[in-house]
Structure formats: structure tokens, C-alpha cells
Amino acid sequence: MTLRAQLQALFQYASEADLEAQINMLLAEVLEETPIAAPQPSIPCEQNEDNRIVVTGMGIVSPFGVGIECFWEGLASGCSAVGRITHFDPSNFPCQVAAQVPDFMPQAFMDLREARRMSRASQFAVAAARMAVDAAGLRIDAGNRDEIGSLIASSTISMPDVEQAVITMMQRGPLKISPFFIPSAVPNMPSSQVAIQLGLRGYISAISTACAASSQALGEAAEVIRRGDAEVMLAGGAEAPISALSLGSFSVIRALSTGFNADPCRASRPFDQLRDGFVSAEGAGVLVLERLSSARRRGAPILAEILSYAAHADAYHVTAPDPEGGGAIRAMRRALQRAKINPQQVDYINAHATSTPAGDLAETKAIKQVFGEYAYSVPISSNKSMIGHLTGAAGAVEAAATILAMRHSLIPPTINLEHPDPACDLDYVPNVARPATIQVAISNSFGFGGVNSVLVLRKM
């Protein structure tokens, strides 16, 4: 982008407070006070289109509402979807805020009687899957349903259903527990319900690796297609964790933000000195994956390519990240190596960045190790600053956000970055969306138990 174009874009999108800093940065580049990355060679493309996996449709249920449009509008405008919890009375909890899906009507996507037998997470998954299939122009019928699979991740068993079952047992006895409890609560049900409701009879699985789960679901689904176990995969994640059981469980390990109950919109603040924990969130993201050759044959919209995927373990602690980001470093390096690109060819990093003191610092260190001096030039941002942490669904929702950023040439900001942590000193696109040409991006997802998953995406 030329200097003139960048300045015009700044005046269109940036706030008055942000203009001076952005203009100074551009002038520094022009005056060679900061290094300007050398032009990079074009990224080689796999010639065999059967080996290239692309995204042809996306469906999102998020704290901004139902659908891609409201999701992108919220991210691009830098709004917060965090508010006081309304699913139950949180007054007795140290954290009283979350990012909840507003006005969700399951009957818009499935039979209401069927919906009542599902967990809320499964309802979200079915809704997101239907929207993704519609967006991809994918017709599911007797001729292809055996070759279409489902791989929907979830971080854990459905906490609200477990909580309700325990209450029923304690108050009325064990034989009064709903017969639909187990068939609705187990972690594979979002994936199974997508298959049941859409009539998919191909490959099916589920992944439950905490907050890395749906990123891994996308990466593994691409491999399922490459090895010939499916022609099309519906992949992503769904989560509906907001319950007293979940809130209490995360509270006792001091994982949640507690300092902004009176001002929920400011609670999720990655890389900020005042960050004090993550904000729980609910929703789902489902993407349609297929071979590039298949997408072209049927004239499908081609949104992005999954260039590569990698996952590595910290082998450090059950909840805390490796403070030096060891697993994240290995995952990013492996993903870039598999994509056959070097770090300087990455135009944007969608950070995991949950707003925890240890996690944000470890990710910053990892990025510096992988990207070297270029770490200070590549823009990074955290969607969780606006929509909270969707745990098992976070990776898929953030992959969708990354693809939308590519297609709209606009990087969503990291909001609430008011007091930057001196130890987190990279370019986190603070508070205001930034116009940018994004050809290649990576999306980081890290989970409890030291699971690190990285996706490399390319604009198509």
C-alpha cells in the first residue's frame, strides 16, 4: 500500500487519538528510522489442486449475534460484546461478566422439539453448520452425503447440562435425571448433531483439547480430506459454558477477570497492564472445507486456503503456559515450514491472547522468537478483546475472523489496550481497526494442558 493510500485509510478509519501515533510510524518508515521489510518472493502454490484445501463457506454464532454480517460488523467497529451475566444470577461470584449470544432462536435452524433435546452448544453448532452450508452453496443429497463429514470441537462436557443434572439428582433423586442428559452433554454431541440434522453420513469425529480444540478440528479436517476419507468436511467448534458450575470452577483457579464487574466492556484487555484474566464466552464457528479442484468444479465461492497446520505440546503444566512459549514457538515454526513460507511473508497474526497475565506474555515471547526483528513490524490483534474467550470454539471463530480480515483488507483491533504492558511491546493494532493488505496470516490457539495449535491461511 502506498503512503498516500495508507494516510487516506487512516483518516477514514482511525480515531483522532490514534492518528498521531499511526502517522509517526509511517513517517519513521519513510525516514528509515525503523527497518522496512525487504520485498518477499511470491508464495509457491501446490500445483495439484486435489491437495489444496480451501474454505468455501462459514457460519458464525457469536456474542455479536447470529450470522457473519453482525460478527464482522462488531469486530470491524471495535465494539465489546461483553456484559453482565444474565443466564443466572452471578452476584455471589468474583467474576460477574461474560460474552453471551443474544436473541438466539434455535427453531430458526431446527425443529424446536429436537432442539430441546440438545445442549445449547449443539444448537449453536447446527445453526453455524447450516449457515456455512448455505454460504458455500453446498447441496447435500443422496449422491454426496456419504462423502461429507463433521468434525466439531468442544473443550469439555456441557457444563450447564451437568449442573442441571446434579441439581435434579440432589433435589429429586437420581432416577429423575433427564434421559436426554448424557445424549446431550457428551463432547462429541455437537459434531454428531450436525451430522444428524444435516444428514451427513461421511467421516465423523470430535476433538476436545481445551482452547486449541477447534483450531485442531480445522487442521485435522483438512488432513481427512487430503487422505481421502471425505470429499467435504464441516469443521469448527461450539461452546456454551456459561453456568454457575463453569464460572465457579474457573474462579477457584483465578483464571477469570474480576476487576471490571462494574464496567464489563473493559474486562477483556489483552496485552494491557491491567489485564486480570479472561472473559468466558459462548458461540460456534463452522467452516466448509473441500479440495480446490472440487470447489472450482461446482463454482463455489473460494474464501481462503488452509496452507498448513501444526500442533505441539508445552509439556509444562496443566493450566499455565510455558513462560518462554516453547510449544507455541515449535507450532508456529512447524506450520510455517509446512506452508513453505518464511516469517517475513506473514502479513497478520490473529493472536490467542486471552487477557491473562501469563498467557499474553508467553505468546509475545514466542512471536519474537519465531519472527525475530520482523515481530515488531507484523500487525497482531486479539478478537477476544471484543468477544471474550469461546474456549473450544475460539480457534474456528478466530480463523473465520482472520479470513474476513483478509477479504475486507481490514485488521480488527485489540480493544481496551489503554495501558500497554512494557513487556508486551509489539504492534497489537490498538483500539481501532487498521486497513491492510493481507495475503497470508496465521491464527494461534493455545489450550490448557499445553496444547498449541497454529493455522496458516492464505487469501484466495
Query: 372 and 265 in one domain?
Result: no
- CB of 430 within 8 A of CB of 380? no
Q: Tally the domains of the chain.
A: 3
DSSP letter assigned to residue 450 = T
- Say whether both 191 and 316 belong to one domain: no
| Same-domain pairing of 315 and 355 | yes
Question: Does residue 302 sit within a domain?
Answer: no
Residue at 175 is within a domain: yes
Non-local CB neighbours of 290 within 8 Å, separated by 6+ positions: 53, 54, 56, 225, 231, 232, 233, 300
Model confidence pLDDT, tens digit, residues 394-420? 999 999 999 999 999 999 999 999 999
Whether residue 288 is found in the same domain as residue 326: no
Q: Is residue 134 part of a domain?
A: yes
Asked whether the predicted pLDDT for residue 59 surpasses 90, the reply is: yes
C-alpha cell belonging to residue 354: 486471552
DSSP state of 338: H
Residue 431 predicted with pLDDT over 50: yes
User: Active site residue: 95, 211, 265, 424, which one?
Assistant: 211
Are 388 and 257 within 8 A, CB to CB? no
Place of cell 454457575: 244
Looking at the predicted structure, is the pLDDT value of residue 2 above 90? no
pLDDT at 33: 47
Handedness of CA 149, 305, 217, 339 (dihedral sign): positive
- 203 and 75 part of one domain: yes
Residue with grid cell 484487555, as numbered in its chain: 269
420: in domain = yes
Q: Is residue 16 part of a domain?
A: yes
Q: What is the mean pLDDT of residues 87-107?
A: 97
Same domain, 60 and 152: yes
What is the rounded CA–CA span in Å between residue 330 and residue 320?
17
Separation of alpha carbons 361 and 363, rounded Å: 5
pLDDT bracket for residue 34 (50, 70, 90): very low
- pLDDT above 70 for 214: yes
C-alpha cell at 234: 464441516
- Count other Cβ atoms within 10 Å, centred on residue 216: 27
Cell numbers linked to 313: 505440546
316 plus 238 within the same structural domain = no
Q: How does 344-353 read in b/e, with b if 16+ C-beta sit within 10 Å?
A: bbbbbbbbbb
Q: The domain spanning residue 400 has which CATH number?
A: 3.40.47.10
Instruction: Tell me, yes or no, whether 9 and 152 share the same domain.
Output: no
> Do 345 and 268 belong together in one domain?
no
- What is the C-alpha separation between 245 and 226, in angstroms, rounded? 40
Of 22-36, 105-119, 186-200, the least confident: 22-36
Mean pLDDT of 183-200: 96
Residue 13 burial (CB count, 10 A):
18
Whole-number mean pLDDT of the chain?
92
Residue 416 lies in a domain: yes
- Does residue 144 sit within a domain? yes
pLDDT tens digits for range 67-80: 999 999 999 999 99
Burial of residue 92, with CB atoms counted within 10 A of its CB: 0-12 exposed, 13-18 middle, 19 or more buried: exposed
* 164 plus 280 within the same structural domain: yes
Asked if residue 201 and residue 155 are part of one domain, the reply reads yes
DSSP string, 136-199: HTPPP-TTTGGGEEEEEE-SSS-HHHHHHHHHHHHHH-GGGS-TTHHHHHSTTHHHHHHHHHHT
Is 125 found in the same domain as 56? yes
Residue 189 lies in domain? 49-297
- What the block records as the C-alpha cell of 294 is 472440487
Residue 424 annotated to the active site: no
Residue where one domain finishes, among candidates 239, 272, 297: 297
Q: Which residue among 262, 297, 332 closes a domain?
A: 297
Q: Please check whether residue 44 lies inside any domain of the structure.
A: no
Say what the pLDDT of residue 39 is: 43
Q: pLDDT tier at 1 (50, 70, 90 boundaries)?
A: very low
What the block records as the C-alpha cell of 278 is 479472561
Q: How many CB atoms are closer than 10 A to CB 427?
A: 17
Report the pLDDT value the prediction gives residue 47, as an integer from 0 to 100. 72
